[in-house]
Amino acid sequence: MEKIKAWAKNLKRQTFVLYLAYKDNRVPWYAKLFIIGVVSYAFSPIDLIPDFIPILGFLDEVILLPLGIMFALKMIPQEVIANCEVEAKRMMENGKPRNWLVGILIILLWSMVILWMAKEGFQFLNEGSF
């Protein structure tokens, strides 16, 4: 259990490093675009795959988010990462920022999927092709 807690804390720290690296002028523009997506999703109050879905609900935290962080960190110069790690430690003490815009976009995406499924289900039931 201690290993899992340490892994989660490291993941959170790396997210803060990315958040800070985005603001650094030494980070290439393409890395900044990727960082925006990863950090926005990490700080979003809503998951793309809701946690209440068994097993699949935790895939984003266990696989997708760590992969995104790993790729983003590879795009950032090492000296930027070193500078941001010190500041990230300080930020972690104050709590993570929230990205409500991404949260709203994810809600809209899920709403569209649910509406589409309802429409398709309604059409299927009206066809009477049981």
Within a domain: residue 123?
no
Count of structural domains within the chain: 1
pLDDT, residue 76, reads 94
The Cα-based distances of 13 to 7, 19, 71, 114 in angstroms read 10, 10, 15, 34
Do the domain assignments include residue 104?
A: no
Q: How far is Cα 92 from Cα 15, in angstroms, rounded to an integer?
A: 10
Residue 79's domain spans which residues?
A: 2-99
Task: Report pLDDT digits (tens) over 84-125.
Answer: 988 888 777 766 556 677 677 778 888 898 899 999 988 888
Does residue 72 lie in a domain region? Answer: yes
- Let me know if residue 67 belongs to a domain: yes
In a domain, 127, yes or no: no
Look at residue 61 and tell me if it is in a domain: yes
Instruction: Determine the average pLDDT of the residues in 69-79.
Output: 92
Tell whether 119 is covered by a domain: no
CA distance 45 to 93: 19
- Compute the radius of gyration of the chain from its Cα atoms: 19
